[in-house]
Copies of this chain bind each other. A is one copy, B any other.
Amino acid sequence: MRRPADHRYARRSDSKLEPPCGILQLGRMRSVSSVGAMQRLAKSWRRRGVPIGFVPTMGYLHDGHLSLVREARRLVGRQGKVVLSIYVNPTQFGPKEDFRRYPRDLPRDLALCREAGVDVVFCPTDAELYPEGASTWVVEEALSQGLEGQSRPGHFRGVTTVVAKLFHLVLPDVAVFGAKDYQQAAVVRRMVRDLHFPVRIRVAPTRREPDGLAMSSRNRYLAGDLRRQALVVVQAIRVAQAQVRHGAGAAAGTLRRQLERVIARAPDARVDYIAFFDPETLAPLRRVQRGAHLALAVSVGKTRLIDNARL
């Protein structure tokens, strides 16, 4: 029997009917879901000396994400490539968290990415990113202990593991993270330093709504009055900044109680933590002075919000 030798060639050449597995061309932008295709693409750029900028996200993009894309573009230049990944990583959610209802809208995200000049949107599948029987984890055991790590056990193990996987697939020269997830950025920086990843980490400032609320994909959960109540988070930050900037500093306990009272103004808000810490080591501070960092996590209704600021 004759083997149909040119069958594969015929399929490959007719790219409109049969695009290469896991790649979709959208004008000048590509959407890639296959991990193998992503890594091959990244390697081909590397061989040609093309710098790669990377923005890892969980999708449902807002202007905070797009500001990271702009920063990545600035860093790699017009000749460079900007990759944005969209992946709602199951391993960084706790069993009672919002993994299933986390907002998703891929068509909208792709349109936003195309407008923003992203070169490749990488949206891997669970099955490929976590192969059958996956048993390897990256763990950071110091900076990830407090704050979010304490409230969300296992969260940062999920984050460091997925970021390591994504770095190996996208092979970026520089990766851009948002300052809103302050501890996440610190943990990723530490991971990169400790494991000697050949990647530079850039942290870009938090983008805020006109009324000051930090942009977040989870803000869409905040219907009606809850959206207004959520502003106590920003008000608490402003109170802390005013206290520290115009005085000799304050005892952490005293300042914390003051901020708790600000947050209590919203009937549906519940403080998870209010923490003052050293911006580098994340070590808790007893006395809060200029340059200290504040992070807080507050649930408003069923929606958990986080924010942070340098004081």
A residues in contact (CB < 8 Å) with B: 35, 39, 43, 46-47, 49, 129-131, 133-143, 160-161, 164-165, 168-169, 171, 190-191, 193-198
Contact = CB atoms under 8 A, between A and B. Distances in A.
A141 B46 CA distance: 32
Contact of A198 (B43, B49, B136, B193): B43
Contact of A136 (B43, B138, B171): B138
Copies in the complex: 2
Given A46-B46, A46-B47, A139-B139, A196 B133 contact: no
A43 B171 CA distance: 12
Contact of A196 (B35, B139, B195, B196): B35
A165 B46 contact: no
A20 to B, nearest CB: 19
A195 B46 contact: no
A201 B24 CA distance: 31
B168 A131 contact: no
A133 B194 CA distance: 9
B39 A196 contact: yes
A190 to B, nearest CB: 6
A195 B135 contact: no
A141 B131 contact: no
Nearest to A46: B46
Given A165-B195, A171-B198, A135 B131 contact: no
